[in-house]
Amino acid sequence: MTEKEYRTITDVKGPLVFLNKTEPVSFGEIVSLRLSDGSTKNGQVLDTSDEMVVVQVFEGTAGVDLDTGIRFMGDVFKLPVSKDLVGRILTGAGKPRDGGPDIVAEHNADIIGAAINPYSRRSPEEFIQTGVSAIDSCTSLVRGQKLPIFSASGLPHNDIALQIARQAKLKDSDEDFVVVFCAMGITAEEYNFFRYDLERTGALENAVLFVNLADDPAVERLITPRLALTAAEYLAFEHDYHVLVIYTDMTNYCESLRQIGAAREEVPGRRGYPGYMYTDLAMLYERAGIVKGKEGSITQFPILTMPGDDITHPIPDLSGYITEGQIVISRELHQKGIYPPINVLPSLSRLMNAGIGPNKTREDHKSVSDQLYAAYAQGRELRGLVAIVGEDALNERDLQMLKFADLFENKFLRQSRDEDRSIEGTLDLAWELLSSINTKYLVRLDQKWIDKYHPTEKK
């Protein structure tokens, strides 16, 4: 750490401070600013040269003037990590928020995080039973996956995330996950909702919370998920925990990213978001996984609210290109009073095939899930037609598909907030509903599964 304090600020713009020639400062170095009233702020070097240094201030630049003293801390941003993190609530910058003592570091971990060597990863293939039929049957989750929830304002994504956090377990195992919860720019009310629920169910003792609320500095949000993931990596890869990282709301994170980009006068990409947003998001999402020689795992559940329910908006769009699928929450289903209002059609789990089947879930899982999709998709499409020509114009096949779509929504998707269905229960329920359709129309089902599982036609 250098003891020198510089007073060479030339410009302050948004969250950025520009200062003149200093000693050589490293890229990414942590900076401490001492304001004239004696308070301090923290920042990070974004650009450095012999003549000029650009610092991004995490807590915002309110109160910074040209006399503000700047010290370079000689190191990049690190999080003190230790097993004591579990059970703690920290601020978005990693300081205690629960009134407890500072974390005594086992060591300090670089929060940027190195990329996992693709060669060193293990293929995720252990099925996680969430107890939610829509997810378990059609977008099955596996350990080490990153599966975001694409939602929108006014929808119950928080309930769903909490239900998953509560119920998620490996099939036939009681082993719990450690939850790392990362709040970025959410309201105090939402935060309390999460906190009380975690407290109520006793999960808080097994969780680490990093909290940046809506009235906390926006720039700090760029650090918060990195702290959370650093803690997750420490717990998973140094102490063999199975970690479930929930972050909410990625949309706020991206807005902060845009804010910094604009302040730096960068050439913007789509809708003003920086061109490197894909890479930046990848640096977060790709920190999920399981690796050779380590027991633990990191599974990620990012929540993002799609502005204007638009799935082609850059935030869900770029996320979808990085994550291994998505769970899409539907306003239409929500307004029909269905919980969880998961629209399985645009939802997807890319790692599903690796995690299901004999010895993992059940041999008929893949067939059943394909058939559910196909029948529900056709049923929904027919609703549009019925609105124009009426049910009378439909043939027998189409009528059965149409009825199935209603059954699927009301019996299969709908479940209560504390209903924990086993995967066998989910699949049996699927068969029961599919049996309302004449078998000859169930072309996605292998005959051998019909013989074995069909409620009325099994042999």
Q: Which stretch binds other proteins (CB under 8 A): 43-51, 160-168, 301-309, 332-340?
A: 43-51
Between 79 and 162, name the residue whose CB sits nearer to other proteins. Answer: 79
Burial class (CB in 10 A: 0-12, 13-18, 19+), 250: buried
Restricting to residues 216-245, name those near other proteins by CB under 8 A.
237
Restricting to residues 300-329, name those near other proteins by CB under 8 A.
311-314, 317-318, 320-322, 324-326
Of 295, 364, 308, 352, the C-alpha closest to 326 is 352
- Give the helix/strand (H/E) hosting 371: helix 365-389
Closest distance to other proteins from the beta carbon of 50 (Å): 5
Residue 399 is a binding residue for other proteins (CB under 8 A) = no
Residue 2 is a binding residue for other proteins (CB under 8 A) = no
Restricting to residues 146-205, name those near other proteins by CB under 8 A.
none
Q: Which stretch binds other proteins (CB under 8 A): 167-175, 212-220, 280-288, 295-303?
A: 280-288
Closest distance to other proteins from the beta carbon of 371 (Å): 9
Q: Which stretch binds other proteins (CB under 8 A): 12-20, 89-97, 187-195, 439-447?
A: 439-447
Closest distance to other proteins from the beta carbon of 211 (Å): 25
Between 98 and 280, name the residue whose CB sits nearer to other proteins. Answer: 280
Helix, strand or coil for residue 313? coil
Closest distance to other proteins from the beta carbon of 166 (Å): 25
Between 43 and 131, name the residue whose CB sits nearer to other proteins. Answer: 43
| Residue 120 C-alpha from the chain's centroid | 23
Between 312 and 456, name the residue whose CB sits nearer to other proteins. Answer: 312
Distances (CA, A) of 262 to 195, 271, 273, 282: 34, 12, 9, 21
Size of the site for other proteins (CB under 8 A): 84
Between 46 and 170, name the residue whose CB sits nearer to other proteins. Answer: 46
| Residue from 3, 37, 443, 456 in contact with other proteins (CB under 8 A) | 443
Closest distance to other proteins from the beta carbon of 108 (Å): 14
| Residue from 12, 35, 105, 112 in contact with other proteins (CB under 8 A) | 112
Q: Do the Cβ atoms of 176 and 206 come closer than 8 Å?
A: yes
Q: Which residues contact 212 (CB under 8 A, 6 or more apart)?
A: 91, 92, 93, 183, 184, 185, 220, 221, 224
Between 75 and 240, name the residue whose CB sits nearer to other proteins. Answer: 75
Distances (CA, A) of 176 to 205, 311, 354, 368: 12, 33, 22, 28
Instruction: Tell me how far apart the alpha carbons of residues 112 and 134 are, in angstroms, rounded to a whole number.
Output: 35
Distances (CA, A) of 445 to 265, 358, 377, 441: 56, 16, 16, 9
Residue 132 is a binding residue for other proteins (CB under 8 A) = no
Of 142, 207, 145, the C-alpha closest to 181 is 207
Question: Residue type for 246, please?
Answer: I
Q: Which two tokens stand for residue 10?
A: 């030339």
Closest distance to other proteins from the beta carbon of 438 (Å): 10
| Residue from 15, 17, 42, 48 in contact with other proteins (CB under 8 A) | 48
Closest distance to other proteins from the beta carbon of 46 (Å): 8
Q: Do the Cβ atoms of 136 and 425 come closer than 8 Å?
A: no
Residue 8 is a binding residue for other proteins (CB under 8 A) = no
Of 276, 319, 293, the C-alpha closest to 238 is 293
| Residue from 393, 406, 410, 455 in contact with other proteins (CB under 8 A) | 393
- Give the helix/strand (H/E) hosting 10: strand 9-13
Residue 73 is a binding residue for other proteins (CB under 8 A) = no
